[in-house]
Structure 1
């Protein structure tokens, strides 16, 4: 037998496309708890390819780098609209692959996997290329080792989507060209690896082997800059990355939302498409530290508004909303929901089932404030007792809607703060269609983006850009300290002339008064 070709020549010519399949092994589908009816895919950049022996860097600040041992197909001839019966002839060779991903970055991808799986070296392949015409595509085996311990082993005998189907399906829409790489899915057993671990993958069949594809893991040393999305990890992502909540050492996450290939941050109607759910993840907008939350709780929205105005931000109040009961105070990070005007055909298509409205409430995390764009329409309800209760159970910090609230008496008895434009008995469909979640919305006359800081009290609701919150709250604390001093002087009989605002004499006295 001739010595097998090695992958270095292929990598030197820079393949044009790297296409990866989401779910293909029954063992992995069982682990994920879903079995797709048809294959779905994502693209990886060709710069993610690397040879055996080259290390992969776990990005600085990330904890959830996971491997996925796979069989990689190398296209040898141009293929467009090929039938499954002729598809295998388009494959030149078979090799081992590893579809590495960083779960800490999935939240920023909207299902594309660009950041989570597109890093340099995130797709090692090799080392040897097995001629495709010498093997049976249904008789291949893939195995993965971590530090010499076997962690994955499966065969292609009962794939959800045979390799011929994948090639035929992809060629319906795109031309497969020589050198293109198709990653064909991973079996159960994928989990998290750490710096200093070594991951090895081998593909073999009777008489043939790729040899072991070796990838050492190293720690990254360069932090992400502030001009791009950084890593965010929560228990749901830990459970996904490790393979189970038990393996991750966390409590079992709530069921993932089905029916969408993207996270619940939506910029379009893709959350209503019937496609694969491999990359559906709960959305995390970040967290407010206990120290920052305490600072925000110590000042009023009136003071925060004054500080924002000093910085040129005048349209940051959500106008026309009041709390369901007096004394409610709300601090959290914005998640958003948008309704469009009711139209009969759209209401019928998108107004029933697990709608965008229900998904928004069902995906709230601790500390989130759901901000609802209802166009100021008060002639129907936008939230009722059950969804408000769901938000409370999820640990949300509040709800803000510039529309109506149903079941007002019951909602008012809940602990969760709800700021609204009025009570109304009608159901949502009278005036609205639930449309999309976690996009920029207009609520009460101001723009709100996911991740904005939302603060509400008796004076109203304020939106603070997260980049400004630290300086705004610190200056607000100082402002209220000065106002306490001024109040004491007025109580003692001082005139407001020169005191409010303070002239230099009063400022000197204030500095002496300040502890």
Structure 2
């Protein structure tokens, strides 16, 4: 078996890495990407056949990630998935190390958090790619002799051939380039003194890389304050350890521990409200744009339809709380309709920025909220009320600053058609399924329900789409035909790129939505 050495990959021009590629990892993180995405690690991060890796002084969250590494054997440019594997020369083991204490400083690039010297150990042996099936490899990781990661490439969301072909669309993959293909569930934090071992093998072929052994040492030189210094949030701690339970078991959340049983979701601020930067981005784009981006991801049934707004001039963004009404049955209304019922409990428990979404079965023959309860919701700081039923006291409700979205006005009180039954569960409203914690975005065009795990990606892509459409609108206004311009062909796309160099994307996170919106 050939060993990893300077001649094979020591001078790799590129080290490319996949963010999330295994189903087990996606399930652990609670978010599954629709398509692969990547980041670069410097070739100076390579450490051949293991050795030691230094945890930088001031950092506590050095995470290991056992992975299959592909070493390109022949140049690949715009290859098809069918031909992609033929361009792989070797397979080996890798450990995609990174410090989550510096993740905040990278703004998604992973330059510092994953680019340190020795942060990409490879080896010890190379398996010829032609001798193994790419979907039948196994990766295992041990820490101090205990098995902590085990999965096969049959568990990949994105097969190796897709990753190679996708990367080759825009860049030439050259001999010696390394592709780190993502890690399965079980990645966690290593501390000084820990020994991390990674092995990739093909049980069917009887071939193995052997164990790639890396010992963690402690750095002693503190990072200077002319650059970003280590710091982390509870969300970073949870991501580094893999889950809140693992972090708690390690004592990493004892100080300032998460109150909730589940990991802090990345779309939430520390206090459980919607992240302000994400909220600003979503408020800065139109639901029409978000709808187009959702459809690209196969999500067509995410609009709450058939409603009107008391404040059509307002756009709202917020986290969903839910309330379900069931058809009235007189005996049950006696036990569930009066007093501090589910309707009143839902409204009285609203937090700043939340949106109460009501399932009223599209029943228009009675009200589901009136002026007093709508006022209480506004006082509690709610961003909006949404019901697919009726609203009573419409004139008074319409005077409130808080928008209410409703099917129709109706003077009847609650007990005519409904019983308020339960709160904070999955409901149906206006033809859409809504879960507590979903992100609601509404404007004059309509109301959308966003899966929170993809909300940041949706926001970013919507900002980019509207930026392009701003340019297209300017060209149309100048008299150009839409033929070839909308959508843009290659010639117009090149002109747009030139225009974009002097017209940067808006930064909604630092501007108010109204000021930033193009």
| 1:58/1:217 contact within 8 Å kept | yes
Structure 1 pair 408/107, CA: closer, same or farther in 2 (3 Å)? Answer: farther
Residue deviations 1:96-137 (CA, integer Å, cap 9, x gap):
100112122222222222222122211111111111112222
Q: CA deviation at 1:10?
A: 3.2
Q: Aligned to 2:78, what secondary structure does the other structure show?
A: coil
Scaled by the length of structure 2, the TM-score of the pair is 0.55
Map 1:38-437 → 2, pairs under 5 A: 38-205=35-202, 206-249=205-248, 250=253, 251=258, 252=260, 338=280, 346=286, 348-350=288-290, 390-391=351-352, 411-412=378-379, 424=401, 429=443
Residue deviations 1:133-178 (CA, integer Å, cap 9, x gap):
1222222221111111111122223422221221112112221111
| 1:11/1:50 contact within 8 Å kept | no
Structure 1 pair 410/144, CA: closer, same or farther in 2 (3 Å)? Answer: closer
Structure 1 pair 154/238, CA: closer, same or farther in 2 (3 Å)? Answer: same
Q: Which entry has the higher C-alpha Rg, 1 or 2?
A: 1
| 1:336/1:437 contact within 8 Å kept | no
| 1:60/1:224 contact within 8 Å kept | yes
Structure 1 pair 235/173, CA: closer, same or farther in 2 (3 Å)? Answer: same
Partners in 2 of 1:351 and 1:67 — Cα distance? Answer: 38
Structure 1 pair 238/4, CA: closer, same or farther in 2 (3 Å)? Answer: same
Q: Which residue matches 1:311?
A: none
Q: Which residue matches 2:487?
A: none
| 1:57/1:217 contact within 8 Å kept | yes
Q: Aligned to 1:47, what secondary structure does the other structure show?
A: helix
Q: CA deviation at 1:80?
A: 0.9
| 2:318/2:353 contact within 8 Å kept | no
Partners in 1 of 2:158 and 2:278 — Cα distance? Answer: 37
Q: Which residue matches 2:511?
A: 441
Partners in 1 of 2:84 and 2:284 — Cα distance? Answer: 47
| 2:283/2:316 contact within 8 Å kept | no
Scaled by the length of structure 1, the TM-score of the pair is 0.55
Runs of 5+ in structure 1 lacking a partner? 258-279, 286-332, 355-378, 394-406, 416-422, 448-515
Q: CA deviation at 1:253?
A: 6.7
Q: Which residue matches 1:10?
A: 8
Partners in 2 of 1:94 and 1:385 — Cα distance? Answer: 45
Partners in 2 of 1:111 and 1:31 — Cα distance? Answer: 20
Q: Aligned to 1:95, what secondary structure does the other structure show?
A: strand
| 1:107/1:281 contact within 8 Å kept | no
| 1:78/1:90 contact within 8 Å kept | yes
Partners in 2 of 1:41 and 1:59 — Cα distance? Answer: 24
Q: CA deviation at 1:68?
A: 0.5
Q: Which residue matches 2:329?
A: none
